[in-house]
Amino acid sequence: MMVDQPTRGESETIAFVLGGGGLRGAAEVGMIKALAEADICPDLVVGTSIGAINGAVVASGSLPEMARRLEGMWGELTARGVLRESVFSRVANIVRHRTHLHTNDAMRKLLLDWLPVKSFEEMAVPFQCSAACVELSSEWWFDSGPLIDAVLSSCAVPGLLPPVEVNGRHFIDGGVVNSIPISRALELGASTIYVLHVGNIDAPLRVPRNAWDVAFVAFEISRRHRFHSDMEDLPEGVTLHVLPTGLDGHSKFNDPSKLRYNHSASIRAGIDRAYEETVKYLTAPAAVGP
């Protein structure tokens, strides 16, 4: 999907916007791989939740190198999982902390192992990630200082991971307030935006049948509402590319009950599918304009 198409020029500012969506964020890896091969590099990167992890890697160095690093990171995630603590550990966490099933330990180790920089100031490309601030009940953007806690804040899915404390405030998953942060890219002056997302933006939702479905459907409504509102309010002269995941039209992915947060079996397929579809999109005449 492409919206608007102004003439390209030297003043163009390209932004990558990476949305949230758990392990379905594997699709963003395929998109990044295709963008790198097409030599489409960002001038700024913004991300939320899993998009904050992917975006932090992308903004850390040259795009071709970071695309390879990102694919390697997801390969490790597939092999060992990040949220695969035993049932005993999860029950212990609930008993001890009462608010979450998992600790941040595995996610922190993953970031320490794969992020080549440790602060926003070391980034090769300007990067920001969002979280929801509990005390302020508002959207919060991290753009300076230590990187790991900022990214963990953006990924702190309520009920699954604990809130992250930074400078006396507590933060939870940025997807609660802005899951596909097009608006932030516009605020930062983007004139061309590539939206990397997890798919099913327009797929029909069904009425929830269990507790997981309730949470999933509520999140999906919030995610899609903000996205479509931002699309409707897109300023004149801005080019926006919504990259394809290859999931839309695959009926089994339209069922929220099949999108378990710790199900990693389809990660490789998700990367490859999004890569193939994004390559097709980027090489189509409409994607590059006249």
List, for residues 173-196, the tens digit of each pLDDT value: 999 899 999 999 999 999 999 999
- For residue 6, count other CB atoms closer than 10 A to its CB: 13
For β-strands 138-142 and 127-133, DSSP reports them as: antiparallel
271/25 Cα distance (integer angstroms): 9
In this prediction, what percent of the chain has a pLDDT beyond 70? 80
Q: pLDDT at position 280, please? A: 96
Q: pLDDT at position 221, please? A: 84
205/213 Cα distance (integer angstroms): 10
230/38 Cα distance (integer angstroms): 27
pLDDT band, residue 218 (cuts 50/70/90):
confident
137 counts as catalytic: no
Q: How many residues does the chain have?
A: 290
105 counts as catalytic: no
pLDDT at 85 over 50: no
Q: What is the mean pLDDT of residues 153-163?
A: 87
Please name the amino acid found at residue 32: I
- Coil, strand or helix at 241: strand
Read off the DSSP letter of residue 145.
Answer: S
Beta bridge partners of 271: none
In this prediction, what percent of the chain has a pLDDT beyond 90? 55
269/284 Cα distance (integer angstroms): 23
pLDDT at 219 over 80: no
Please name the amino acid found at residue 214: V
Active-site pick, 60, 130, 154, 173: 173
Residue found under tokens 């192992």: 113
54/31 Cα distance (integer angstroms): 11
Q: pLDDT at position 80, please? A: 61
Indicate the pTM of the whole model. Answer: 0.85
Active-site pick, 49, 153, 154, 179: 49
Give the residue with greater pLDDT, 8 vs 280: 280
Q: pLDDT at position 248, please? A: 57
153/155 Cα distance (integer angstroms): 5
105/20 Cα distance (integer angstroms): 20
Residue found under tokens 């920001």: 128
181/140 Cα distance (integer angstroms): 12
pLDDT at 262 over 50: no
Q: What is the mean pLDDT of residues 51-66?
A: 97
pLDDT at 201 over 90: no
Q: pLDDT at position 240, please? A: 96
